[in-house]
Structure 1
Amino acid sequence: MATSNGNTRGPAVAAADPLGEPFLQTRLAPPGRPATFLRRSRLLEHLDQALDTPLTMVNGSAGAGKTLLVADWAAGLGQPVAWFTNEAGDQGAGVFWAYVLHALQAAGVPLCADIGCPADASRVDHKLLARLADELSGHDRPAILVLDEFDRQTAPQTAEQLEFVLHHAGPGLRLILVTRTEPLLPLHRYRAAAAMTEIRDAELAFTPDEAADLLELHGLRLPAEATRALVERTRGWAAGLRLCAMAARESEDPEAYLREFEAGRSAVADFLLAEVLKRQTARTQDLLLRVSVVDRFCPALAEALTGRSGLEPVLAGLYRQNAFVEDVGHSWYRLHPLFGEILRAHLRARHPGLEPELHRRAGQWLRATGALPEALAHGAAAGDWEFTAGAFVDDLAIGQLFTGLRADDLAELFARMGPEVTGAAPDVVRAARDLAEHDLERGLNHLRLAEEHLAEEALDPALRLSCVLLESLAARLTGSPSRAEKAVATAEELRHEVPAHLLDKHPELTALLLTHLGSARLWAGSFDEARAALSEVAGCPSGVATALPRQDSLGHLALIDYLNGWLGRAERKALAALSETEQFGLHRPPGADLGRLVLAAVAVDRDDLGQAQALLEEAADSAPAALDPVTAAGRSLVAARLLLARGDPRAAAAAADPAVPADVASPWAEVHTALVTSAAHLAEGRPDTAAKVLDDVPYGTEPAYAAELAWAQLAAGNRDAALDLVDHLRTRSRTGPGVSVCAALVRARAAQEAGDEATARKLLARALLEARRERLRRPFLDAGPRLRHLLDTPPLQSLAAGWLTPGGPAPRAPEERAPLVVEELSGREREVLVRLAQMMSTEEIAADLYVSVNTVKTHLKSVYRKLGVNRRGEAVRRARERGLM
């Protein structure tokens, strides 16, 4: 083809570059691919887009696999590709363009003879560039030019010239830059015009599946988990994976090597030190070594570690260079994990003894900026335990040893604090750690030491408040309600001295205080007072900080409901307790056991003994060495009742006593022990001994256990005492079916013994109706053969059929079709309706749903309107007719 001026095509470039040196063929050919090279289809498919865009940039760190990827792609194209590898020290634009022209000619790109060749190593004639662009623009098929290691080409003038040719060559040139840094081209324009293909470091990283294939090419087959761990440690970095694989292949245990190898003593270290660290200036090398002690860093933290200022552009430049510095957003950076390991090893070798000082500086800076978890980690790494414990306590974070996602990490961190560290803050932390691990004796000893320091010095209110929190926990664990009340009162006084932002930051502190107070009150039998404290915690906003106290409080509230005879309420609260922490991924704490124990107790009362046993065993699996008295008594209550239900009275009597030392006696726990012991004696034919056990119980008037005590008295032959107890219950309205059913059975049996079977039947019918909605079976099974015989007679038989005795419910008579519901009930209205059916008062519904009485009344009005009724009974009946319940 002839050019416009009539010149014919001929040799476009000379045999030597402008320096008179021969062209090096190794710089003009793609590198060979090793036998262990892994072809990755997803990247090749992406790179195919380079044929449709003028500019392509493959930008990644050293050893990311950029060059081999492009070489593999070029080999599979089926057409020539011009290739030029830049080198450091190239002397000017003339040499660069001479090589580019030679690469194009070597690839068979037809060029006119009059384009010429640069004569000056440092300069390029603009006419040459214009001729080249014009020539390329006239070709039918675009020339593909790969410029490898383009990051070594740092002259802005050369980048401008390259962009000029690329722009004016139009569709005649496809330029592919392989680089560690972003070139000085106007990339924003190409991106905005969708005229650019990009493959960056993140895309170049090997996936776990690709890593497994690569390892297999090296003769290694690893479990999937081991491969994932290696990919996480290397971030999928190609060179790291290959070097690790080659080293592991020489090991007797490749899997163990890849899991445990020291990065600082590996071929990976040699690569990164040579290719990354030593390319930097001495000051930048020092910066990288110093920031290696922290997981992440910003310019201000880097300045604190180095004692230098103005580091923001340096860090940004390291990131742009792909120097294994990753941008995590908002001017924060982190090192590649392997690079960080290697730098730390290099730091210890180059500057012995500097690392602890750097950790100390980092800890102080991070504490000042409010990054407490990282500050603690660096304080511990520096061995500065006075700083670490002080920072932890001053931040009012002591409750985090008992709650949240970091409890285990904090316990492990402070376990490294030696006994030589003394002071109020270290002893408070030791006490909290021991109590969190259920070592009551050691925890109380350290708490006493901390309180001695408090008595000697005027200390920070955050420290004193932390000590008070532990006092409340000690009161709970020792069954001392007065101690708990004093601790909470002291805490209330100290709250005014503590900065408000700390209290807002740590809602777990108040939640824990009230939970411990509620537990101590419950142990002492003060159910209403306990419910007040526990309900405040259960009603607080949900969050990871308060999830465990909320769970603990809901478990205690469930136990109160169970003891008061409200099985359904107890079950709902216990289930809510168990689900409270699941949404945050928290491990199961000991407080969760109380919810399981309540569910097990409910299962016993419903005669689901298999379920009760499973729940009891599940709770026992995670039992700590020391239980708080409430949980211990709850466990013995369930275990003993289950053994009684299974016909093992002797084992039940042995299991009945919780044997937990406490400062005060628990009335309900003592009655529970007496009831089981009395029942065991009766089962073994010793009614007199059973009666004697009951005579020693001084708590006969509490509604929570008066009905069961009345039944035990009646079974032991004390009919008058039994009736006195149930008569007293007539004036109490807060007890549920678990109590009222038992009381009705006492009266029914007493009437039957007096020969009044009609009254006995009426009382049994009432008991069956109340028990049916709670599926309460155990009292009827324990009622004795004479009373159970009445259940086989009509109409009691139909009331018991299907849920208490075999057979289905009696068929219902045809009813007139009820009118349709005018409007759909809301979720909350359905909840209120369910509680209406359980005969709960408005106040009880409000307490159960944690809303006000006025709110319940509003929902009731809406329910009545939507169902077209005026009374509670009609609302329940209508809802059942329409299948709403």
Structure 2
Amino acid sequence: MAPSDKTGQDRAVPDLDPLGDPFLRTRFALPTRPGTFLRRARLAEHLDRSRTTPLVMVSGPAGAGKTLLVADWVAGLAPPVAWLTLDAAIQGPGMFWAHLLQALRAGGVQLPADIGFPADGSRVDTALLTRLAAHLGSGGRSVTLVLDDYDRAGADLSEQLAFVLHHARPGLRLVLVARTEPLLPLHRYRAAGEMTEIRGAELAFSPDEARELLGLHGLHLTAEAARALVERTRGWAAGLRLCALAAQQSPDPELYLKEFEAGHSAIADFLLAEVLSRQTPESQDLLLRVSVLERFCADLANELTGRSDAALLLVGLHRENAFVEDLGHAWYRLHPLFREILRVHLRERCPGLEQELHRRAARWLRRFGALPEMLAHGAAAQDWENTARALVDDLAIGQLFTGLRSHDLTELFAGMEPATTSAATELVRAARDLARHDLDRGLAHLRHAEEQLAADDHGQAAARLSHALLEALAARLSGSPTRAEKAVRAAREVLPEVPERLLDHHPEVPALLLTHVGSTWVWAGRFDEARAALAEVAGNSGGAPTAVPRQESLGHLALIDYLEGRPGRAERNAFAALTELDRFGLREPSGSGLGRLVLAAVAVERGELRRAQELIDQTPRAAPQDPVTAAGRSIAVARLLLARGRARAAAAVAEEALPTDVGSRWARSQAALVTSAAHLAEGRPDKAAEVLRDMADDQPACAVGAARAHLAAGNPLEALRMLDTIGAAEHVGPAVRVRATLLRAQAAHRKGDGATARRLVAEALRGARRDRLRQPFREAGPWVEPLLKAPPLQQLAAGWLLPGAATPDPAAELAPVLVEPLSGRERDVLTRLAQLMPTEEIAEDLCVSVNTVKTHIKSVYRKLAVNRRHDAVRRARELDLL
């Protein structure tokens, strides 16, 4: 719209506005900055760069600090500088231009009388605007004009202002301060590079700025507390200042800032008055109702309001900077403090409505497939039946065990009423109890769920597969292969009925099922079947959702390797298990840690007793989630005690953790091996042999243990007979064979056959060197030490078993060489990698960023010529860097 062609009568006296009222000087005065005002250099520098642009726009929500920022900046500019604060009284073009002319005069701009003055508050003539633009454009000095609260100006004023700005250049620089974008042709200024903008995101305080601001109020926060406060306030200036003022009255300011209730505070008074009350009744109702949502779109808002125009209302609220944030793709969210305050206001204004809104939101979200948000709203509405059914029907019950949403889901259903009974609610209760390792309660709920499913004629394939998954977990916790086989049969029967999209979306379900079944078969000693199931899980990458079952499967595979006497392969699988969760930033599940326990047992085999103790200490002390893990802990602790010469304590650990009636033969054999070794240490070889008598026939390690006892008792022929039984046994690794070979060497040594003894010790050294198995030689006794120290055996033992160097053996493996030395910081990172610390903990421990740690790790890998954590640690140990 072009400026009006109608002519208004000029007034000779400009001390009164067109309505005849005196001008209020406060409208033209530069706002005073308080003593606690923080001048932020980054924003001031941004504004300083605007000297070449005719238009500057500073926009943001109420209380964002716009006015004080601009007032502080223009106070340092060369005059003339004019300031006008608009308010509700300045209505109509005549009133606006009269005040603008008066602002220019108050700012030191000499305006000639022939420019004129509006006589009518409702209009202004074209000639006045033309003369004003011509005068400003022909002046010697550029005028800076600030219009504060410009969002109060109308569309016709913006067109008139654009006309003057365009024709007054370069004599006018216009600075607009507003909550909303003005109706000027901003696209033209942006395209021409003639506009400087500071918007709400840039106005937000950073954590460092927030700390500095609060310091001006006498409050000194830690960096963590400042980050938390900025996260909650989104760096909103008024919120920070109001928080600071309130915290000054608190005996513990930092605690107050962490826990204050925004719904009953000065912040609430500010937002309700400055934001909510300025909206139309329709927008107020929409804001109150969507306050129950973390995020929302127009359709969801319509569902909650019963209206159909939410899209227009939301666009308007966002444009007005009414604390409605645009997330993109037509989704929005409320500023967290504003949302918190609105929810309190909703409860007070409309008691009982909040639960109904949650119910409506849950129904809408369920229809559109937003399960996580649907579950949260269903629980808030206490609609347990539909909420549990949604979790089960979506096959999402496995997420209770994956570490991604486990805690959230457990907390979500913590308040589920016991009176709610259905197959879905019973399955959720069973999952919750089994996740806490409460087997008895979990089994009771599984029985109830099974009864409900049997009585239901609607199929419910997802529910039946969920039931099979939980049955497999119950089998694992109870060590029952019969229950595991039943779960596998049930899963195979129902899998063809489950929609493929659900299985594709939830790869954790089959992975967890195979892991639970594999663990049960490990407990039963069915190692071949267990290895097949666990290897399938470990070899299929499903990303973060399957990280926990992969970690647990790798840990169980490591245990099988250890039990079969393959410490090197056990170590590789155990390291892979530990790094699996680290890749996705997940924490180890409570009661887990089998991989770390296997590493401890391997460390004992290598004589690294301090490292073994550290690994055991790092293992979570919560109750193990299954008997396999419990047995793994018992093995590691008992073996460590034996290696330290505490035989009686080792036997006590084995007997307490693995009583004689335990259902796993290998677990019983491990306890028997420890007990037998304890008897030997205390001089009772006959008892040592008796303990292993029933297990030596099918357990190679027990046969070696029994042979050791018979040899100590003076029965070498029986000892050799026992050793002959393992010759053709399958799955016998170097740890078992090295011990068997040393016993044969000891028997030959006692007979005086030194040549055979030396040959067999050499064979044992070659078998032990790759895996650095030192403990078997320490267990062998003093007879072997002179042989090891004499050539040629000394050459085989030097460097890894005996200290000192030896003449290189052409057939021996070349030790790795570190071409480029590690820096001090890289050594710090490497030490913590060896301690199995996650990347985030290393960063926190070293007071550096996570990205810096990742850079150091890459450098360590490059210098050690490896690609993975456990390879780096192994290579570092070979190079004596650890």
Tell whether the structures are fold-level matches, with TM greater than 0.5. yes
**Which residue number in structure 1 is paired with residue 687 of structure 2?**
689
**Which residue number in structure 1 is paired with residue 781 of structure 2?**
784
On the 8 A contact 2:591/2:621 being kept in 1, the answer is: no
Uncovered stretches (5+) of structure 1, i.e. residues with no partner: 1-9, 818-885
* CA distance in structure 2 between the partners assigned to 1:720 and 1:233 by the alignment: 78
On the 8 A contact 2:686/2:709 being kept in 1, the answer is: no
| Distance 1:235-1:424 versus aligned 2 partners, 3 A rule | same
* CA distance in structure 1 between the partners assigned to 2:521 and 2:710 by the alignment: 28
What letter matches 1:449 in structure 2?
Answer: H
Match of 1:674 among 672, 675, 682: 672
On the 8 A contact 1:479/1:662 being kept in 2, the answer is: no
- Is 1:613 aligned to residue 613 of structure 2? yes
**Residue 148 of structure 1: how far off its partner (Å):** 0.7
| Distance 1:13-1:710 versus aligned 2 partners, 3 A rule | farther
**Which residue number in structure 1 is paired with residue 153 of structure 2?**
153
What letter matches 2:460 in structure 1?
Answer: D
**Which residue number in structure 1 is paired with residue 754 of structure 2?**
757
**Residue 88 of structure 1: how far off its partner (Å):** 1.9
| Distance 1:787-1:215 versus aligned 2 partners, 3 A rule | closer
**Which residue number in structure 1 is paired with residue 121 of structure 2?**
121
**Which residue number in structure 2 is paired with residue 511 of structure 1?**
511
Q: Secondary structure in 2 aligned to 1:782? A: helix
**Which residue number in structure 2 is paired with residue 273 of structure 1?**
272
**Residue 727 of structure 1: how far off its partner (Å):** 3.0
For residues 157-200 of structure 1, what are the alpha-carbon distances to aligned partners after superposition, in whole Å with 9 as ceiling and x for unaligned?
A: 21111111111112111000000000001111111111111111
On the 8 A contact 2:388/2:424 being kept in 1, the answer is: yes
Q: Secondary structure in 1 aligned to 2:497? A: coil
**Which residue number in structure 2 is paired with residue 238 of structure 1?**
237
* CA distance in structure 1 between the partners assigned to 2:659 and 2:744 by the alignment: 37
- Is 1:105 aligned to residue 105 of structure 2? yes
What letter matches 1:271 in structure 2?
Answer: F
On the 8 A contact 1:13/1:101 being kept in 2, the answer is: no
**Which residue number in structure 2 is paired with residue 521 of structure 1?**
521
**Which residue number in structure 2 is paired with residue 800 of structure 1?**
797
* CA distance in structure 2 between the partners assigned to 1:664 and 1:798 by the alignment: 45
Q: Secondary structure in 2 aligned to 1:243? A: helix
**Which residue number in structure 1 is paired with residue 360 of structure 2?**
361
For residues 248-303 of structure 1, what are the alpha-carbon distances to aligned partners after superposition, in whole Å with 9 as ceiling and x for unaligned?
A: 22333333332222222112111111111111111111100000001111101101
| Distance 1:694-1:718 versus aligned 2 partners, 3 A rule | farther
**Residue 558 of structure 1: how far off its partner (Å):** 0.7
**Residue 627 of structure 1: how far off its partner (Å):** 3.8
**Residue 628 of structure 1: how far off its partner (Å):** 1.2
* CA distance in structure 2 between the partners assigned to 1:705 and 1:191 by the alignment: 82
**Residue 734 of structure 1: how far off its partner (Å):** 4.2
**Residue 219 of structure 1: how far off its partner (Å):** 2.8
What letter matches 1:766 in structure 2?
Answer: E
**Which residue number in structure 1 is paired with residue 193 of structure 2?**
194
**Which residue number in structure 2 is paired with residue 603 of structure 1?**
603
* CA distance in structure 1 between the partners assigned to 2:249 and 2:795 by the alignment: 80
RMSD over aligned Cα atoms: 2.3
* CA distance in structure 1 between the partners assigned to 2:69 and 2:625 by the alignment: 62
**Which residue number in structure 1 is paired with residue 647 of structure 2?**
649
* CA distance in structure 2 between the partners assigned to 1:104 and 1:405 by the alignment: 61
On the 8 A contact 1:563/1:705 being kept in 2, the answer is: no
- Which region of structure 1 is more displaced relative to structure 2, 217-226 or 321-330? 217-226
**Residue 42 of structure 1: how far off its partner (Å):** 2.0
* CA distance in structure 2 between the partners assigned to 1:87 and 1:560 by the alignment: 79
For residues 311-357 of structure 1, what are the alpha-carbon distances to aligned partners after superposition, in whole Å with 9 as ceiling and x for unaligned?
A: 11210110010001111111111111111111111111111100000
**Which residue number in structure 2 is paired with residue 746 of structure 1?**
743
Q: If the length of structure 2 is used for normalisation, what is the TM-score?
A: 0.87
On the 8 A contact 1:12/1:115 being kept in 2, the answer is: no
* CA distance in structure 2 between the partners assigned to 1:731 and 1:718 by the alignment: 23
- Which region of structure 1 is more displaced relative to structure 2, 716-725 or 244-253? 716-725
* CA distance in structure 1 between the partners assigned to 2:382 and 2:634 by the alignment: 45
**Which residue number in structure 2 is paired with residue 853 of structure 1?**
none
- Is 1:485 aligned to residue 485 of structure 2? yes
**Which residue number in structure 2 is paired with residue 414 of structure 1?**
413
- Is 1:370 aligned to residue 398 of structure 2? no
For residues 384-418 of structure 1, what are the alpha-carbon distances to aligned partners after superposition, in whole Å with 9 as ceiling and x for unaligned?
A: 11122111111111111111321111111212223
* CA distance in structure 1 between the partners assigned to 2:547 and 2:616 by the alignment: 23
Q: Describe how 1:452-491 pairs up with structure 2 within 5 A.
A: 452-458=451-457, 460-491=460-491
What letter matches 2:411 in structure 1?
Answer: E
- Which region of structure 1 is more displaced relative to structure 2, 797-806 or 764-773? 797-806
**Residue 439 of structure 1: how far off its partner (Å):** 1.8
* CA distance in structure 2 between the partners assigned to 1:267 and 1:814 by the alignment: 81
**Which residue number in structure 2 is paired with residue 548 of structure 1?**
548
Q: Secondary structure in 2 aligned to 1:565? A: coil
What letter matches 1:250 in structure 2?
Answer: Q
Q: Secondary structure in 1 aligned to 2:790? A: coil
* CA distance in structure 2 between the partners assigned to 1:759 and 1:405 by the alignment: 59
- Is 1:588 aligned to residue 585 of structure 2? no
On the 8 A contact 1:478/1:662 being kept in 2, the answer is: no
**Residue 614 of structure 1: how far off its partner (Å):** 1.5
For residues 570-589 of structure 1, what are the alpha-carbon distances to aligned partners after superposition, in whole Å with 9 as ceiling and x for unaligned?
A: 11111111111012221212
What letter matches 1:694 in structure 2?
Answer: L
**Residue 12 of structure 1: how far off its partner (Å):** 9.0
On the 8 A contact 1:398/1:429 being kept in 2, the answer is: yes
Q: Secondary structure in 1 aligned to 2:176? A: strand
Q: Describe how 1:45-444 pairs up with structure 2 within 5 A.
A: 45-154=45-154, 156-444=155-443
**Residue 537 of structure 1: how far off its partner (Å):** 0.5
What letter matches 1:737 in structure 2?
Answer: P
Q: If the length of structure 1 is used for normalisation, what is the TM-score?
A: 0.87
**Residue 720 of structure 1: how far off its partner (Å):** 4.0
For residues 819-878 of structure 1, what are the alpha-carbon distances to aligned partners after superposition, in whole Å with 9 as ceiling and x for unaligned?
A: xxxxxxxxxxxxxxxxxxxxxxxxxxxxxxxxxxxxxxxxxxxxxxxxxxxxxxxxxxxx
For residues 529-557 of structure 1, what are the alpha-carbon distances to aligned partners after superposition, in whole Å with 9 as ceiling and x for unaligned?
A: 11110000101114111111110001111
* CA distance in structure 2 between the partners assigned to 1:285 and 1:200 by the alignment: 24
On the 8 A contact 2:205/2:237 being kept in 1, the answer is: yes
Q: Secondary structure in 2 aligned to 1:326? A: strand
* CA distance in structure 2 between the partners assigned to 1:780 and 1:260 by the alignment: 61
Q: Secondary structure in 2 aligned to 1:584? A: coil
**Which residue number in structure 2 is paired with residue 495 of structure 1?**
495
Q: Secondary structure in 1 aligned to 2:789? A: coil
Q: Describe how 1:531-570 pairs up with structure 2 within 5 A.
A: 531-570=531-570
On the 8 A contact 1:82/1:107 being kept in 2, the answer is: yes
On the 8 A contact 1:440/1:626 being kept in 2, the answer is: no
**Which residue number in structure 1 is paired with residue 820 of structure 2?**
none
What letter matches 1:391 in structure 2?
Answer: A
Q: Secondary structure in 1 aligned to 2:332? A: strand
Q: Secondary structure in 2 aligned to 1:546? A: helix
* CA distance in structure 2 between the partners assigned to 1:180 and 1:323 by the alignment: 8
| Distance 1:760-1:663 versus aligned 2 partners, 3 A rule | closer
What letter matches 1:148 in structure 2?
Answer: D
* CA distance in structure 2 between the partners assigned to 1:627 and 1:259 by the alignment: 35
**Which residue number in structure 2 is paired with residue 624 of structure 1?**
622
* CA distance in structure 1 between the partners assigned to 2:796 and 2:641 by the alignment: 28
On the 8 A contact 2:676/2:705 being kept in 1, the answer is: no
What letter matches 2:270 in structure 1?
Answer: F
On the 8 A contact 1:98/1:117 being kept in 2, the answer is: yes
* CA distance in structure 2 between the partners assigned to 1:87 and 1:734 by the alignment: 87
**Residue 658 of structure 1: how far off its partner (Å):** 5.9
What letter matches 2:102 in structure 1?
Answer: H
**Which residue number in structure 1 is paired with residue 732 of structure 2?**
735
Q: Secondary structure in 1 aligned to 2:110? A: coil
* CA distance in structure 2 between the partners assigned to 1:814 and 1:418 by the alignment: 71
Q: Secondary structure in 1 aligned to 2:333? A: strand
* CA distance in structure 1 between the partners assigned to 2:186 and 2:179 by the alignment: 15
**Residue 756 of structure 1: how far off its partner (Å):** 2.5
What letter matches 1:124 in structure 2?
Answer: V
